[in-house]
Amino acid sequence: MELSNEEKEFLLQSIRKVYDFPKPGIVFRDITTLLNNKEAFNLLMQHLKNRYASYELDCVAGIESRGFIFGAVLANLLNIGFVPIRKKGKLPYTTISEKYSLEYGFSEIEIHIDAFDNSKKIQRVLLIDDLIATGGTAIAGANLIKKAGAECIEACFIVNLEDLGGLKAVKEITKTYTILDV
Single-letter amino acid code for the residue at 132: I
Q: Is residue 149 part of a domain?
A: yes
Is residue 35 included in any domain, yes or no? no
Residue 5 domain flag? no
115 lies in a domain? yes
Give the pLDDT of residue 103: 66
Q: Is residue 2 part of a domain?
A: no
Buried b (16+ CB within 10 A) or exposed e, 24-55: eeeeebebeebbebeebbebbbebbeebbeee
Residue 15 domain-assigned (yes or no): no
What CATH number has the domain bearing residue 86? Answer: 3.40.50.2020
Task: Region of 113 please: left (phi>0), alpha (psi -120 to 50) or beta.
Answer: alpha
Whether 166 and 132 have beta carbons less than 8 Å apart is answered as yes
Give pTM, 2 decimals: 0.96
Residue 113 falls within a domain, yes or no? yes
Number of domains in the chain: 1
Domain that residue 121 falls in:
55-181
| Residue 165 belongs to some domain of the structure | yes
The tens place of each residue's pLDDT in the chain, 182 residues long, gives 799 999 999 999 999 999 999 889 989 999 999 999 999 999 999 999 999 999 999 999 999 999 999 999 999 999 999 999 999 999 999 999 999 987 677 899 999 999 999 888 999 999 999 999 999 999 999 999 999 999 999 999 999 999 999 999 999 999 999 999 99
